[in-house]
Amino acid sequence: MKSRKITEITIEIHEEWIIRRAQHQAQGRCADCNDQLTMITIDEAAALAQVSARAVYRWVESSQIHFVETEDGQLLVCINSLPS
């Protein structure tokens, strides 16, 4: 009887996102998770979560993610609250 040789292959995939901004980054403290972090725009959040901007707005409207509204009306999202 011949013995069979089994080879197991494991592949690890790591993904890293780099967001470059021309404008000043918004540093702040998320009131919900109480962490000091960089708040990101709706478009940046959509890119990181790989969803549409509309999906991010739905999360904001349903309070599924943490956000703040700036004095000029821009929404900024807590990066820690985005679904992985």
- Better-predicted residue by pLDDT, 45 or 21: 45
| CA separation for the pair 42, 61 (Å, rounded) | 12
| CA separation for the pair 9, 65 (Å, rounded) | 37
Domain that holds residue 37: 1-84
Quote the number of domains for the chain: 1
Q: pLDDT, tens digit, for every residue of 45-82? A: 999 899 999 999 999 999 899 988 888 888 888 888 88
Cβ atoms 76, 41 nearer than 8 A: yes
Is pTM beyond 0.75? Reply is: no
- Better-predicted residue by pLDDT, 70 or 17: 70
Cβ atoms 37, 80 nearer than 8 A: yes
CATH of the domain at 22: 1.10.1660
Instruction: Supply the pLDDT for residue 26.
Output: 64
| CA separation for the pair 4, 47 (Å, rounded) | 46
